[in-house]
Amino acid sequence: MFNLMKTAVLMAAITALFMAIGAMIGGRTGMLLALLVAVGMNFYSYWFSDQLVLKMYNAREVDETSAPRFYAMVRELAQRAELPMPKVYLIDEAAPNAFATGRDPEHAAVAATTGIINVLSDRELRGVMAHELAHVKHRDILISTVSATMAGAISMLANFAAFFGGRDEHGRPANPIAGIAVAILAPLAASLIQMAISRAREFEADRGGAEISGDPQALASALDKIHRYAQGIPLNAAEAHPETAQMMIMNPLSGGGLRSLFSTHPATEERVARLMAMARER
C-alpha cells in the first residue's frame, strides 16, 4: 500500500511538472494540453513502460535452453523469495549491471548484462539477482520504471520549450531566458524526484537481497567488483537514456559534476559496509 501511495505521489509530481512546462510553452491552453499528455503518459507508463525500457537496452528474453545456468539461478531465487517466476533477459553489453522492471510481481522481468555474468562469480551473481528480486518483492519496480519513462518525457518537453520558445496565455512570446531556465531546471526537478525515492530503495533491496540469497557477503563482494569494473566501461544504452540509470543495481553513468551530485544510488562503500555488518550478525 505504501508503494502504491509513493507511485501516486510520483505521478502527481510528474504531472505538475508537465503542466508547468506546458503553461510556459502555450499558456493556459498549453497547460491543459500538457495535462492530457501527462495523463496519457501515466497510463502508458503503468502498462507498457517495462517493455519500453527493455527495448531501450535491446534486451533479449532467455529461457532454460538459451541460458540454462542463469535461468536456473533466477528460478531458484524466485522460489526462495516466494515470487512468481519473472521473465529473464540478457543485454549484450560489456558493462556489468542489472535491473528489474514490471508493474507487479506477476508481470516482472529481470535483466542482466553479459558483462556482469562474465565478471562475477556464480555466488556474486546470485547475490545481484537476489537484490533485483527484492525490488520485485518490495513492489517498487513500478516506481522506478514509471519514473524513468516520465523523466525522459519531461527532459524532451523541456528541450522543446527551450528550442521553440513559448507563449503566455495572451499569445505573447514568452521570455527566452525562462525557456532556457525550464530546459535546465525541469530535468533537474525530475532527477530530484527520482533521487528522493531511489536511494532508500537501494538500501532496502540490498537488505532484502541478502535475506533472499542468505549470503550478504556475496552481494557486498559483487557491489565492490561492479563498482570497480563499471568505472571504465560505459553502458551505452544508459548514456543514451540517463533517466533509466536509477533502475540499475549500480549507477552506470560516466563522468562527475551534476550527474554525481544528483546520483540516485547511495555510495557503494556505505552499501558494502551495511552488508558486511549483516554478514557479521549472521
pLDDT digits (tens, 9 = 90+) for 34-60: 778 777 877 777 788 789 899 999 999
Catalytic residue among 64, 76, 82, 132: 132
Among candidate residues 261, 262, 135, the one with its CA nearest the CA of residue 190: 262
Indicate if 64 belongs to the active site.
no
Residue 125 lies in a domain: yes
Residue 187 lies in a domain: yes
Residue 124 lies in a domain: yes
pLDDT for 6 beyond 70: no
Q: pLDDT band for position 187 (50/70/90)?
A: low
Residue 41 lies in a domain: no
Residue 219 lies in a domain: yes
Residue 263 lies in a domain: yes
pLDDT tens profile 193-210: 666 666 678 999 999 999
Residue 154 lies in a domain: no
pLDDT for 217 beyond 80: yes
The mean pLDDT value for 153-160 works out to: 68
Question: How many domains does the chain divide into?
Answer: 1
Q: Rounded CA gap, 182 and 234, in Å?
A: 29
Range of the domain at 224: 50-140+175-281
Q: What is the mean pLDDT of the chain?
A: 82
Q: Which of 17-21, 33-37, 119-123 has the highest mean predicted lDDT (pLDDT)? A: 119-123
pLDDT for 249 beyond 80: yes
Q: Which residue has the higher pLDDT, 8 or 36?
A: 36
Q: Rounded CA gap, 117 and 260, in Å?
A: 26
Q: Is 110 exposed, middle or buried (0-12, 13-18, 19+ CB in 10 A)?
A: buried
Residue 168 lies in a domain: no
The CATH number for 244's domain is 3.30.2010.10
Q: Rounded CA gap, 47 and 150, in Å?
A: 13
